[in-house]
Structure 1
Amino acid sequence: MKSLAILSLSLIATAAMAGPMGGGGGGGGGGGGGGGGGGGGSSSSQIEINGPSVQVTLLNRSGVLNVATGGGKASQNLASNAGNVTIDRSGSSLQVVAATGSGILNKADGYAAVAVNNLASNYGEVEVKNTSIQVVAAKNSGIVNYAGNGSMAVQNISSNNGCVTCYNNH
């Protein structure tokens, strides 16, 4: 835990020193599609980063699993921005997921399954105007979210979720 604190402080210092990144689209790091199909977000999603943004995922002897069956649709974000996320010039964002000896599972099961998994993520309509620090630290832990028959499983931990309808379009 001490090394996580040191890492977080060094990342904050790095983000503070980086200064604004200039104008525009693209951005977001880490994470990406989980198994089973496309994400639950809008196809017109836009990420705009005008201030410092750092996302870090550290996994040591850990497993991350996100599964959707039946109707499909699985989306997985670890320390990522997804959807219409804006980080203003006056804002800064630090997102860290650190797990050791842990399992992270999000599973939807059924004919119209949807699984959305966010850890230390900005998801949907989110605007960061000041400093945002989101940290998930798990040691020898299990983070599980499961929905059975006719399913939808959504998991947000240390997250800004501004898109409560993004995953309801099944």
Structure 2
Amino acid sequence: MVKVNKQNVAGWFLGLIVLVAAVLALMALYGPVHLEASRLSFTSLSQLDARSRQILLYIGYDAAVFSTLAFVHYAIDKGIAVRNGKRSRLKREWRRTPEAVLLAESLLGGVVGASLSMLIFHHKVHTWYFVWGQVAFSLLHVALLAYARAAGWL
């Protein structure tokens, strides 16, 4: 089995996004899911039924938890990176948070926390797959919500 490492982490997450998009497209074209564009329009959350509001509340909890985790992990990783950069006076380096963990937290709903942490601490802002990964994950989350709404799941 191939391990996720610094050289291939972007490819793994891009592949995961493509896989999710392909599964959703196949479900809509050939599977049990029938999308209706008329379900996408609503003016307020009060128009949703109780089940849909409850699901959106759980999605909000997920986003809050993973955003907090991502924010804290990015901040800690930045602190360790700065500390390890001064290693001439240090005896040993501290272990950094793996990039796959940072990206996974964003993928699982922590895009807001990760993006804020990137802006505040200037961490991973020069790594293209982190910057574009946040954009891709945000678009994926919006697409998943729209898909779930059009499929009648929300």
- TM-score, normalisation: structure 1: 0.22
Structure with bigger gyration radius: 2
Higher strand proportion: 1
- TM-score, normalisation: structure 2: 0.23
